[in-house]
């Protein structure tokens, strides 16, 4: 593990909450002074230092798989771009960026692409994430602005969480919501499945997937029927009310109609509407269950319409609130990372914007109009229209819909350039040129979180080997292309100042209407940039010349549209495009798990983050499981219209609606044989935002017939190629603290004595075979150290937990006791911990259940006894669930 030598205040690189982190020589802690988290961290944040390991890093540029020098790599990149532009025009070059880049990296990428190469084709993974919210903000307010701030989620007397599993996806914000629970405050969760977040809810509306537009249209109708709207606000500050209402009345005329269409209980719908009507301090926070739909933009606007009709926008405790996903989802939008925008919140069609920007940058190459959005961009790659594609900070082979087609596109593209910190990802596998980028802790710059708060990420580690920060890579390529004058940056501070100055220009272009304005920070000295404290845009300067941030927007009811009125948008019913058929009867919902981040390139480096959910899974309703003869833990195969299936273990739970399944998005081809969720998601997009419908795939399901289940453990080695695909029907890699482990399963008959030698890279010294039971176990010891173990059984629950064996890999020399127990897989007296609940202290459900049975009957006493739930608190809802279950059983 690489360690810093001094303490540094920085920002977490994972979710959009944007927590302040203090990196110290002994690990990371929450930054007490950061306004987002005030010292708190979730389990991913508190494991950050465990991911700062050299394992798997990309350390040198590579061309066609060979290590090369930077000068060769930069030359290759420049000449590929130059060649494509001269032969096919600037539109043959495309950039695909990421909400995980820092603002400074993003700014330079956008400037190089749009400003100097002259291609409009610059899009970002934010298209898959926030673009519906962006489009809705623009439609309603005139600009992409989140009107509220985190405090509003605490002040609200009614907190509506729509399509958000905040306890897992925005954990520290969830903790703030939870800490604000008080008498009279209510929480409503709107989600087709019961999530851990629903534990906080006074009411969980388990609606039919995709019917949010109907629910919120119905709310608008109900508010009008019950005279609960704010008429004077509507008259003075909004336009489009009459048409919006008329449309809503047509689609959702009554509670009865809404309940029927959304498959909800009438009383629940009525109750939700009444709570909304009677609670002036209402916040509706929404996330991917809303955005990731073919009607995503409409869903967001249906929510905003209700807030406008009640005058609840930008007021303390009353606002719609889009929860952003990535650490810099918002910063990317600020610099113009989306294909339909220019820069600094200026649009292609903002009058005067192109001319002003061209003058500011000193270029005559700005494209005439918008470029292709992510899904269309990869289609253009597939068609052969794009000759050079530069991917930075994202893993589209896994995260874009229809993964197989995306891989085909990457395969066909003449030059694929990938900048990443990791050497082996599903996307780097297609790279012609691989550029080693600095990662968290090594790079410097700013990010903007969900509440418009700009924070510094600061470097506290030296750059390893030949690794460079993204802005520097980009600026070097720009210089190589002959634009040295426009890219003179010596530090991220230089870039930030230009970005801030450009925001002032953009405000001028909009006649002072634009909200995104950080011009006050355009003259920060290098030292003041380095010390920059978290600040929310728009930034103004007070009389004393001090820059101050703005927590809330639009409280005065003046918006940034031409007539300064907010627009209410008529919303049609719009249902998911991917709907179940006889062949594909299941609705496939996809999303996140608590301890992993996206495609696992970083979080899987901390073994304890792979203990809560160790393998890909399929959550399925008991009735469907029974019908399809699926039992808990059985491997299931989901097959959709695309060429590849998804394999995961069944988790049978009535949290699902019958007919729906939920699968995680995290496992890539690097971690499992066949568990990429986007194989089941068609490339269907919202016509307004271009955001894919990632929450609504369709599939058929069958139990995978397995004759055997196995675990293989080896000493960790980076580049070992196991020929698992030929051997088994399913494999999944789970790095442990001292070993690498694989879950394996198959249907073919095996000669284990023969196969073991190959899998263990040599003859095992210890073998135990019981063919009647389908059991085989073997271990190989080299020079007294454990080198490899193979455990085979006919059912997965007969395999031992690997914690004890993993410890044996740590020993320089196995003890006699350890040797004696190797094939049993556990010491005689070790307690089985069961399925992991608390990642921070590694406490499992067996231990918790035993403690409950032993008399610990509250979360607090369990915390005292076992420490579970006492660090980040992310697992508290699960502990509560176990308690409830055990106590009800006992009672
Ligand atoms: N642990 C962890 N945290 C993360 C991330 C991560 O990878 N891991 N990623 C970050 C990123 S980039 C993002 S964008 C956020 C996402 O944060 P969230 O949006 O909260 O997370 P998801 O799990 O994608 O989806 C949220 C919920 O939408 C529900 N849903 C599905 N369909 C519908 C529907 O039709 N209507 C409604 N109302 N709900 C529906 C799903 O059941 C799911 O529970 O998380 C961020 N935080
Ligand atoms: N079915 C389905 N699909 C989805 C979603 C869903 O809910 N369901 N969610 C969508 C959403 S909201 C999102 S945000 C995307 C996320 O999807 P991706 O962006 O594809 O996922 P990540 O694993 O975060 O990829 C980030 C990559 O950047 C690398 N990286 C990290 N830091 C740096 C850096 O500083 N510089 C560079 N150059 N590289 C770096 C990492 O190693 C990693 O390879 O997935 C989307 N896809
Ligand atoms: S809540 Fe988000 S920003 Fe905060 S520590 Fe966890 S992952 Fe990082
Ligand atoms: Mo996201």
Dihedral angle at the C-alpha atoms of 178, 179, 185, 187, nearest 10 degrees? -10
Rg (CA), the chain: 27
Note the pLDDT tens digit of each residue in 106-159.
Answer: 999 999 999 999 999 999 999 999 999 999 999 999 999 999 999 999 999 999
Q: Is 497 in the pocket of ligand 1 (CB under 6 A)?
A: no
DSSP symbol at 116: I
DSSP assignment of 457-482 equals E---SPPPTT-B-HHHHHHHHHHHTT
Highest-scoring range by mean pLDDT, 313-322, 800-809, 846-855 = 313-322
Burial of 245 (0-12, 13-18, 19+ CB in 10 A): buried
Q: Are 70 and 61 in contact (CB under 8 A)?
A: yes
Query: Residue 1: is its pLDDT beyond 70?
Result: no
The pLDDT-based confidence of 771 (bands split at 50, 70, 90) is confident
Q: Which residue has the higher pLDDT, 23 or 542?
A: 23
pLDDT of residue 830: 64
Task: Determine if ligand 3 sits within 6 Å of the CB of residue 106.
Answer: no
Task: Quote the DSSP letter at residue 318.
Answer: B
Please indicate whether residue 440 or residue 724 has the higher confidence score (pLDDT): 440
Render pLDDT for 322-356 as a digit per residue (tens, 0 to 9).
Answer: 999 999 999 999 999 999 999 999 999 999 999 99
Residue 873 Ramachandran class (φ > 0 left, ψ -120 to 50 alpha, else beta): left
Residue whose CA is at the smallest distance from ligand 2 atom 29: 393
Count Cβ atoms within 10 A of the Cβ of residue 202 and give its class: 0-12 exposed, 13-18 middle, 19 or more buried: middle
Tokens of 775: 């059991």
Ligand 1 atom closest to the CA of 592, numbered from 1: 23
Three-state SS for 376-404 is HHHHHHHHCCCCEEEEECCCHHHHCCCHH
pLDDT of residue 724: 83
DSSP class of 387: S
Calculate how far, in angstroms, residue 15's C-alpha sits from the geometric centre of ligand 4.
8
Please name which of 369, 393, 509, 536 lies closest in space to residue 104, comparing C-alpha atoms: 393
Q: What are phi and psi of 685, to 5 degrees?
A: -125, 160
CA distance 587 to 661: 6
The Å distance, Cα 563 to ligand 4 centre, comes to 33
Measure 557 CA to ligand 3 centroid, in angstroms: 32
Q: Is the pLDDT of residue 514 over 70?
A: yes
pLDDT in tens, 820-838: 888 988 876 666 778 888 8
Closest CA to 758 of 791, 787, 723, 706: 723
Q: How confident is the model over 661-697, as pLDDT tens digits?
A: 999 999 999 999 999 999 999 999 999 999 999 999 9
Helix or strand (DSSP H, E) at 614: none
- 18 Rama class: left (phi>0) / alpha (psi -120 to 50) / beta: left
Burial class (CB in 10 A: 0-12, 13-18, 19+), 104: buried
Whether 155 is in the pocket of ligand 3, judged by its Cβ within 6 Å, is: no
- Sort strands 730-735 and 740-746 into parallel, antiparallel or unpaired: antiparallel
pLDDT at 204 over 60: yes
Return the residue whose CA atom lies nearest to atom 1 of ligand 1: 594
Distance CA 338, CA 835 (A): 42
> Dihedrals φ, ψ of 695, to 5°?
-95, 0
In the predicted structure, residue 841 carries a pLDDT above the cut 90? no
Counting beta carbons within 10 angstroms of the beta carbon of residue 292, is it exposed (0 to 12), middle (13 to 18) or buried (19 or more)? buried
Q: Which two tokens stand for residue 584?
A: 């594909």
Confidence label for 542 from pLDDT (cuts 50, 70 and 90)? confident
Cβ contact 501:495 at 8 Å: no
Cβ of 10 less than 6 Å from ligand 3: no
* C-alpha triplet 648, 654, 658: angle, nearest 5°: 80
pLDDT tens for each residue of 368-416: 999 999 999 999 999 999 999 999 999 999 999 999 999 999 999 999 9
List of domains in the chain = 8-51 (2.20.25.90), 62-127+328-548 (3.40.50.740), 131-322 (3.40.228.10), 586-703 (2.40.40.20), 708-821 (no CATH), 836-889 (1.10.10.1100)
Q: Give the pairing type, strands 158-162 and 186-190.
A: parallel
Write out the H or E segment, with its range, that includes residue 361. helix 353-361
pLDDT over 60 (residue 718): no
Q: Tokens standing for 346?
A: 């200026």
Record the tokens describing residue 18, joined without a space: 């944007």
Q: Is the CB of 288 under 6 A from ligand 1?
A: yes
Predicted local confidence at residue 573, as pLDDT: 85
Whether residue 719 has pLDDT greater than 90? no
**Exposure pattern of 800-815 as b/e (b: 16+ CB <10 Å)?**
bbbbbbbbbbeeeebe
Mean pLDDT score, 180-186:
96
Give the pair of three-digit tokens for residue 404: 């197989």
3-state secondary structure of 697: strand
Residue ranges with strand state E in 609-672:
617-620, 635-639, 646-652, 660-664
pLDDT (average), residues 575-581: 91
Contact predicate 148/450, CB 8 Å: no
Look at residue 481 and tell me whether its pLDDT is greater than 60: yes
Mean per-residue pLDDT, 776-792: 95
For 583-592, the pLDDT digits (tens) are 999 999 999 9
Give the model's pLDDT for residue 263: 98
| Residue 57 tokens, joined | 């890093």
* Cβ atoms < 10 Å from Cβ of 737: 14
pLDDT at 720 over 90: no
User: What does the pLDDT look like over 250-279, one tens digit per residue?
Assistant: 999 999 999 999 999 999 999 999 999 999
The tens digit of pLDDT for each residue in 730-766 reads 999 999 999 999 999 999 999 999 999 999 989 999 9
* pLDDT-above-90 percentage for the chain: 88
Look at ligand 2, atom 47, and give the residue with the nearest C-alpha: 399
- pLDDT at 839 exceeding the cut of 90: no
Q: Can you tell me whether residue 831 is helix, strand or coil?
A: coil
Ligand 2 atom nearest the C-alpha of 399 is 47
Distances (CA, A) of 469 to 177, 459, 614: 36, 10, 32
**Mean of all residue pLDDT scores within the chain:** 95
Residue 887 token pair: 């106590």
Give me the pLDDT at residue 139, please: 98
């Amino acid at each position: 593990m690489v360690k810093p030598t001094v303490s540094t205040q920085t920002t977490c690189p994972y979710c959009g909450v944007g927590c302040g982190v203090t990196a110290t020589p002994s690990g990371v802690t929450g930054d007490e002074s950061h306004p987002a988290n005030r010292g708190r961290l979730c389990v991913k944040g508190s494991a950050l230092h465990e991911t700062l390991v050299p394992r798997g890093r990309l350390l040198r540029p590579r061309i066609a798989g060979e290590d090369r020098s930077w000068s060769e790599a930069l030359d290759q990149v420049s000449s590929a771009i130059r060649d494509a532009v001269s032969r096919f025009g600037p539109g043959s070059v495309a950039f695909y960026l990421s909400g995980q880049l820092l603002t400074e990296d993003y700014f330079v990428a956008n400037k190089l692409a749009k400003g100097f190469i002259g291609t409009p084709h610059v899009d970002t993974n934010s298209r898959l994430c926030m673009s519906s919210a962006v489009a809705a903000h623009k439609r309603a307010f005139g600009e992409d602005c989140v009107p509220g701030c985190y405090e509003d989620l605490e002040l609200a007397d009614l907190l509506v969480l729509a399509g958000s599993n905040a306890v897992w996806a925005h954990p520290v914000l969830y903790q703030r919501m939870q800490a604000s629970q008080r008498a009279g405050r209510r929480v409503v969760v709107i989600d087709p499945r019961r999530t851990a977040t629903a534990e906080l809810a006074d009411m969980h509306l388990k609606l039919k997937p995709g019917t949010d537009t109907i629910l919120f249209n119905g709310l608008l109708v109900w508010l009008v029927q019950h005279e609960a709207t704010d008429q004077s606000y509507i008259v003075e500050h909004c336009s489009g009310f009459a048409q919006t209402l008329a449309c809503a009345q047509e689609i959702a005329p009554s509670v009865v109609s809404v309940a029927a269409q959304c498959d909800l209980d009438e009383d629940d719908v009525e109750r939700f509407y009444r709570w909304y009507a009677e609670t002036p301090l209402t916040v509706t926070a929404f996330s991917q269950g809303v955005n990731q739909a073919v009607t995503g933009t409409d869903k967001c606007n249906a929510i905003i319409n209700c807030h406008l009709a009640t005058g609840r926008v930008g007021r303390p405790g009353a606002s719609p609130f889009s929860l952003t996903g990535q650490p810099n989802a918002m910063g990317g939008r600020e610099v113009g990372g989306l294909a339909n925008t220019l820069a600094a919140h200026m649009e292609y069609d903002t009058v005067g914007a192109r001319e002003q920007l061209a003058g500011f940058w000193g270029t005559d190459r700005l494209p005439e109009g918008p470029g292709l959005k992510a899904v269309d961009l990869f289609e253009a790659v597939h068609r052969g229209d794009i000759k050079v594609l530069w991917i930075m900070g994202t893993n589209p082979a896994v995260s874009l819909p229809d993964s197989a087609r995306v891989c085909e596109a990457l395969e066909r593209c003449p030059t694929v350039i990938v900048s990443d910190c990791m050497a082996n990802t599903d996307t780097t596998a297609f790279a012609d040129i691989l550029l080693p980028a600095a990662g968290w802790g090594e790079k410097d710059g700013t990010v903007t979180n969900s509440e418009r708060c700009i924070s510094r990420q600061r470097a506290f580690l030296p750059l390893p080997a030949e690794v460079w920060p993204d802005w520097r890579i980009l600026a070097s390529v720009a210089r190589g292309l002959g634009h040295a004058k426009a890219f003179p940056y010596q530090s991220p501070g230089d870039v930030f100042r230009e970005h801030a100055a450009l925001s002032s220009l953009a405000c001028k272009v909009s006649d002072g209407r634009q909200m995104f304005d950080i011009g006050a920070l355009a003259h920060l000295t290098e030292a003041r940039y380095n010390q920059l404290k978290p600040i929310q845009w728009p930034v103004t300067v007070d009389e004393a010349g001090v820059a101050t941030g703005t927590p809330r927007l639009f409280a005065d009811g003046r918006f940034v549209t031409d007539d300064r009125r907010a627009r209410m948008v008529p919303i049609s019913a719009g249902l998911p495009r991917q709907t179940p058929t006889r062949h594909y009867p299941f609705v496939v919902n996809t999303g996140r798990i608590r301890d992993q981040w996206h495609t696992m390139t970083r979080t899987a480096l901390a073994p304890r983050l792979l203990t809560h959910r160790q393998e890909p899974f399929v959550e399925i309703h008991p009735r469907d499981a029974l019908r399809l003869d699926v039992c808990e833990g059985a491997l299931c195969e989901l097959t959709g219209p695309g060429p590849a299936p998804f394999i995961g273990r069944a988790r049978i739970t009535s949290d699902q609606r019958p007919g729906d399944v939920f699968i995680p998005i995290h496992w890539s081809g690097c971690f499992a044989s066949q568990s990429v969720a986007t194989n089941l998601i068609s490339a269907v997009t919202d016509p307004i935002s271009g955001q894919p419908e990632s929450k609504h795939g369709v599939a058929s399901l069958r139990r995978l017939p397995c004759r055997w289940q196995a675990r293989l453990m080896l000493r960790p080695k980076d580049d070992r190629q196991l020929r698992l695909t030929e051997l088994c029907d399913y494999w999944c890699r789970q790095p442990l603290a001292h070993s690498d482990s694989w879950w394996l399963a198959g249907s073919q008959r095996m000669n284990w004595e023969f196969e073991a030698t190959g899998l263990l890279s040599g003859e095992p010294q210890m073998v135990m075979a019981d063919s009647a039971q389908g059991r085989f176990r073997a271990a190989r010891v080299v020079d007294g150290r454990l080198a490899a173990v193979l455990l085979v059984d006919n059912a997965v629950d007969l395999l031992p937990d690997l914690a004890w064996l993993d410890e044996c890999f740590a020993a320089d020399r196995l003890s006699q006791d350890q040797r004696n127990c190797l094939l049993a897989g556990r010491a005689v007296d070790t307690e089985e911990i069961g399925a992991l609940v608390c990642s921070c202290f590694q406490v499992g459900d067996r231990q918790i259940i035993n403690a409950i049975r032993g008399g610990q009957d509250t979360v607090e006493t369990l915390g005292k006894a076992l420490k579970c739930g006492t660090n980040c608190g992310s697992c508290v809802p699960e502990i509560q669930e176990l308690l409830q279950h055990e106590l009800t059983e006992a009672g």
